[in-house]
């Protein structure tokens, strides 16, 4: 396995793969290799039949969604083609057809109730940045002090998904919370601009993504909000509520860092404004006569 690990490290280093993507690939590859070990199948003898059986295992026994299984397929394909140097037959290992689902988007009042419930200043600063700027959980966790620019009211996100960099807006309300948080958690003269904005238990490491996710779950449950609401929901709310406020989709695309505008336009199906002003034909003539 050490030999495989060195090849994986080399590929990631040459490609400049983001840490979050590296972690995801490794986790899924290890899960597959663990399955192979239980089946007493040597890695060197792996073939398409083994992969097919694993996909069925993920679908039928683990009950994973098509999108999640496709992520596993991508990781296994990388291991199969690059590490084992075998040919990949997409006809034998097809990607699963995804059923389009819309994310849970709570109302503004529900989002504000979540923020108001947050008494911990550090947690509140994280949440207002995620909702006010449309950040992913991993992005807010890896922010540095220098990434917040109060003069231009922008937030800089480096090494984001797809290995991209971008800017998004900084909310005035979020800036006030950040200043309160900064005064409480940072001592003048004992930090530099390259330090983590939200350090973990050690200043050398940023706050763990799971810590943020678990915090939001606890807050959600304490308020009694829908169990489908997660940390990523705040990013969905940013996009949906911005559309409702009349922000052009192309600007939202830039702030969210979407590669394709079509991804951003998905939120048009969620926003209530997309149906406002549309009259039902049943009401056109005042409805049928009783």
Check which CATH number belongs to the domain holding 37 and give it: 1.10.150.130
Per-residue pLDDT, 15 = 86
Look up the CATH number of the domain holding residue 173. Answer: 1.10.443.10
Per-residue pLDDT, 262 = 84
Q: Does residue 179 have an active-site annotation?
A: no
Residue 250 and residue 161 in one domain: yes
If one counts the domains in the chain, the total is: 2
Q: Return the residue matching tokens 């998004």.
A: 168
Residue 75 and residue 128 in one domain: no
Q: Quick check: helix, strand or coil at residue 144?
A: strand
Per-residue pLDDT, 268 = 76
Per-residue pLDDT, 260 = 86
Buried b (16+ CB within 10 A) or exposed e, 193-206: eeebbbbeeeeeeb
Q: Which of 154, 156, 232, 273 is catalytic?
A: 232
Q: Does residue 161 have an active-site annotation?
A: yes
Rounded CA-CA distance 190/168 in Å is: 28
Torsion of CA 269, 275, 279, 280, to 10 degrees: 30
Residue 26 and residue 68 in one domain: yes
Q: Does residue 15 have an active-site annotation?
A: no
Tell me the pLDDT of the chain (290 aa) as tens digits.
677 888 899 998 888 887 778 888 999 999 999 999 999 999 889 999 999 999 999 999 998 989 899 999 999 999 999 999 999 999 999 998 877 667 778 889 999 999 999 999 999 999 999 999 999 999 999 999 999 999 999 999 988 776 788 999 999 999 999 999 999 999 998 899 999 999 998 888 999 999 999 999 999 999 899 888 899 999 999 999 998 888 898 999 999 988 888 888 777 776 765 555 566 676 666 556 55
Is residue 280 assigned to a domain? no
Task: Please give the C-alpha separations between residue 186 and each of 122, 183, 193, in angstroms, as whole numbers.
Answer: 11, 6, 12
Per-residue pLDDT, 41 = 92
Per-residue pLDDT, 200 = 92
Per-residue pLDDT, 289 = 58
Residue 118 and residue 202 in one domain: yes
Residue 192 and residue 246 in one domain: yes
Q: Does residue 208 have an active-site annotation?
A: no
Residue 64 and residue 168 in one domain: no
Structure letter (DSSP) for residue 163: G
Is residue 102 assigned to a domain? no
CB 125: neighbour CB atoms within 10 A? Answer: 26
Per-residue pLDDT, 259 = 85
Q: Which of 161, 166, 213, 273 is catalytic?
A: 161
Q: Which of 136, 142, 206, 236 is catalytic?
A: 136
Is residue 282 assigned to a domain? no
Query: How much is the pTM?
Result: 0.72
Q: Does residue 232 have an active-site annotation?
A: yes
**How many residues make up the chain in this entry?**
290
């Amino acid at each position: 396995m050490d030999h495989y690990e060195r090849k994986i490290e080399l590929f990631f280093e040459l490609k400049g793969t983001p840490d979050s993507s590296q972690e995801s690939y490794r986790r899924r590859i290890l899960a597959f290799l663990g399955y192979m070990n239980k089946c007493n199948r040597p890695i060197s003898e792996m073939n398409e039949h083994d992969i097919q059986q694993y996909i069925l295992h993920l679908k039928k026994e683990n009950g994973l969604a098509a999108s999640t299984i496709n992520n596993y397929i991508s990781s296994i394909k990388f291991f199969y083609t690059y590490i084992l140097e075998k040919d990949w037959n997409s006809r034998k290992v097809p990607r699963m057809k995804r059923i389009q689902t819309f994310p849970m988007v709570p109302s503004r009042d529900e989002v504000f109730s979540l923020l108001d419930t947050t008494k911990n200043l550090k947690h509140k600063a994280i949440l207002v940045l995620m909702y006010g700027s449309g950040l992913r959980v991993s992005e807010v966790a890896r922010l540095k002090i220098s990434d917040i620019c109060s003069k231009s009211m922008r937030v800089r996100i480096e090494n984001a998904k797809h290995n991209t960099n971008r800017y998004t807006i900084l909310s005035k309300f979020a800036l006030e919370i950040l200043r309160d948080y900064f005064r409480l958690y940072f001592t003048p003269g004992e930090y530099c601009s390259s330090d983590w904005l939200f350090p973990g238990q050690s200043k050398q490491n940023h706050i763990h993504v799971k810590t943020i996710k678990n915090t939001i779950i606890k807050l959600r449950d304490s308020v009694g909000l829908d169990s489908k609401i997660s940390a990523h929901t705040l990013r969905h709310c940013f996009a949906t509520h911005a559309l409702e406020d009349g922000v052009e989709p192309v600007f939202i695309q830039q702030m969210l860092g979407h590669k394709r505008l079509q991804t951003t336009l998905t939120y048009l199906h969620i926003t209530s404004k997309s149906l406002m002003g549309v009259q039902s034909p049943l009401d056109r003539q005042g409805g049928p006569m009783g």
